[in-house]
Amino acid sequence: MARHTFGWFGWISALGFVVLGALWLLESMYTLAWPVSATWTLSIAVVAGLGALALYFGNDPTAREPNAVT
């Protein structure tokens, strides 16, 4: 069975999804003045989320090998 892991690259992508998703939510409620439109913020958040999923289920080059000796 495959063992999925995140490296630092995947964690940065996941963090980008969370932060941009929160910015989009605050901007869509008109409580935050953000210099980028809500549409672009959501678009970039979706791309970051898809990247995080791809790195999790795919082959994150920054992830350690499951059987690596530390």
- What value does the mean pLDDT of the chain take? 82
Q: Is residue 67 over pLDDT 60? A: no
**pTM of the prediction?**
0.76
Rounded to 5 degrees, what are φ and ψ at 48? Answer: -65, -40
pLDDT score at 49: 94
Provide the strand spans (E) within the chain: none
CA distance 16 to 2: 26
Per-residue pLDDT tens over the stretch 35-56: 778 888 899 999 999 999 988 8
